Amino acid sequence: MPAPPNCSRHSAVRLPRPGRRAACEPRDVTDLQSPQKNRTLRATVAFVVSICLALVAVNAWLIWKAHAADYRQATIATTNLTRAVSQQTNAMFSEVGHVLDSLGYELERTDITPAVLERLQPVLVNQVAAIDQIHGLFVYDAAGRWIAHSEPVVDPKANNSDRAYFIHHRDDISKQWRIGAPIVSRSTQAWIIPVSRRIDDADGRFAGVVLATIRLDHMLRLMGEFDIGRHGAIALIQADGTILARLPFAQDDVGKRIVGSPLYAMLRADRTGMSEARSPVDGVRRLVSFQHLSDHPLIVTVAPAEDELLQDWKTSSIIQSTWILSLCVLIGVAGSRIVALVRMRWRTELSLQQALGELEQANAQLAELARNDGLTGLSNRRHFDQQFGLAFRQAQRHDRPLALVMIDVDFFKRYNDLYGHPEGDRCLQRVAAAVQSAVRRPGDLVARYGGEEIVVLLPETDDAGAAIVAEAIRTAVLALAIPHEGNPVGRVSISAGVAARLGGDHAPDGSGLLERADRGLYAAKAAGRNTVAMLQPQGIREEADAPSDPS
């Protein structure tokens, strides 16, 4: 029987015990807590935590942005609501004031006799019926007695000489309307806002008062048509701080003065404005928008409660934050798989950002190409056509001069044949730069019209001025001294045609002007090139001839 294999050439044979490995068997060195795996685990945990923190930060930023947007919308809506209430209230009081002026004027220009008062009675009744906000109309004599009114029955001994409005008009010669603090009507026992005006006799002495009353509940109904929330408030306040009407209504608030409160200080500081303030009436903190009426010493305030102002934002923020928290928990549970997905997402986003950057750069280049010529850097034909159309229509509208200079490089085909197209391109670039340097005004436009043709648009320029510019261009190009053996003058030169729209020209479009400039260019070529030619109604006039000495 063969001997069992030795673990070592010089060791004795030793059989392993049951359940134990032999001493020479390779040890399993796999360690679940290896440093590499620990680093990976820590990196994964750190990454997951970072993602969760990032989500929390993004959520906070989004909530802040939403708050800013919602708050801005709320301020705009509140300002618009304030303006609407102010305009409606101003119109209401102005209509009442006009009625008082009309009645006062009629009473002042005639003797107040029993017959006049008898005829006035139905007029007052009809006015009350016709104008919804007027509760009653009354006329008092100099002693405060009721001499005319819209009420069906009154106490014949009634006297209003003790009312604040009566005393005011008796002591003040002004006939300006007076809007008083709310009082209880002596005829109907209802809360009313008195609007009154002084009446004078023929000698300018105090003759009485004409009064219109507005029911306080009418004002409250007007305010109630606007939705300002459950705890919002709308108020009509006199310039001296007296509350005329306020919604929500409380009888104790009627006639209350808010002088000395921060709110009143804000109302006096400007004609219109907005601020957060605590109400001196009920202590609720609100966003207060206010506006002084344009025609009356009254102030309208519209104040939605801060707690209600951004209720939708609060609800959406809670929901959004709940989702973010749930997502963070999900990310924590998902572990390394989520990390891998996030890393993939980051790579995708990076690629997208790079693609967007490249797209923006390409769009910018396209926009530049759409306007400029790629070789010369001048405006291209399309941009010229747009600007020429605008300039021509403006010149037509205001009957102003407008000129064109059409330029062509002389014997340019020969230049390309002699020196090659790359040199031809460089030649065009230098010619374009020379043309641009000779055109100095900001409103002028130099464009490559096609091939070796360049066009110059000169607003507010007549034919003589355009000819001067064209000659300056011709001289500048010639001064470049670019050799050209195919040109009789021995250097690169240009020919130019000039055409101008003069005052009194009512052509329907600019095609005729372009055609004349082009014909002028051909005339310059026919005259021997290196020349400026102008097309006049009677023909072609040569403005400059080629110099005899090419140097």
Match 């206010």 to its residue by tokens: 290
For residues 262 and 386, membership in a common domain is answered with no
pLDDT band, residue 292 (cuts 50/70/90): very high
* Per-residue pLDDT, 340: 59
Average pLDDT, the chain: 83
Burial class (CB in 10 A: 0-12, 13-18, 19+), 48: buried
Residue 144 lies in domain: 70-311
Domain at 166, CATH number: 3.30.450.20
Is 0.75 topped by the overall pTM?
no
Domain at 454, CATH number: 3.30.70.270
The span from the CA of 89 to the CA of 137, in Å, is: 19
* Per-residue pLDDT, 328: 83
Is residue 531 scored above 70 in pLDDT? Answer: yes
For residues 130 and 273, membership in a common domain is answered with yes
Q: 513 in a domain, yes or no?
A: yes
For residues 413 and 518, membership in a common domain is answered with yes
Q: 453 in a domain, yes or no?
A: yes
The span from the CA of 99 to the CA of 88, in Å, is: 17
Q: 498 in a domain, yes or no?
A: yes
The span from the CA of 310 to the CA of 71, in Å, is: 7
pLDDT band, residue 478 (cuts 50/70/90): very high
Range with lowest mean pLDDT among 129-138, 164-173, 340-349: 340-349
Task: Mark which of 289, 311, 333 sits at the end of a domain.
Answer: 311
Number of domains in the chain: 2
For residues 401 and 534, membership in a common domain is answered with yes
Q: What share of the chain is helix, strand, coil (3-state, %, to 5)?
A: 45, 20, 30
Calculate helix-pair angle for 114-130, 35-108, nearest 10 degrees: 160
Q: 44 in a domain, yes or no?
A: no
For residue 43, the SS3 value is helix
Q: 39 in a domain, yes or no?
A: no
* Per-residue pLDDT, 428: 95
Phi and psi, residue 30, nearest 5°: -65, 125
Look up residue 11 and give its DSSP letter.
S
For residues 104 and 251, membership in a common domain is answered with yes
For residues 413 and 268, membership in a common domain is answered with no
Q: 36 in a domain, yes or no?
A: no
Is residue 432 scored above 60 in pLDDT? Answer: yes
Q: What is the DSSP string of 466-494?
A: HHHHHHHHHHHHHHT--B-TTSTTSB--E
The span from the CA of 116 to the CA of 109, in Å, is: 12
The span from the CA of 530 to the CA of 479, in Å, is: 12
Q: 171 in a domain, yes or no?
A: yes
**Measured on CA atoms in the order 70, 72, 76, 82, is the torsion positive or negative?**
positive
For residues 277 and 140, membership in a common domain is answered with yes
For residues 238 and 138, membership in a common domain is answered with yes
User: Exactly one of 452, 460, 471, 543 is catalytic; which is it?
Assistant: 452
The span from the CA of 165 to the CA of 238, in Å, is: 15
Q: 292 in a domain, yes or no?
A: yes
The span from the CA of 130 to the CA of 441, in Å, is: 68
- Residues 210, 100: contact at Cβ < 8 Å? yes
The span from the CA of 238 to the CA of 300, in Å, is: 9
- Residues 479, 427: contact at Cβ < 8 Å? no
Beta bridge partners, 177, equal none
543 catalytically annotated: no
For residues 197 and 298, membership in a common domain is answered with yes
Match 């006015």 to its residue by tokens: 127
Task: Mark which of 262, 280, 311 sits at the end of a domain.
Answer: 311
Task: Mark which of 285, 311, 337 sits at the end of a domain.
Answer: 311
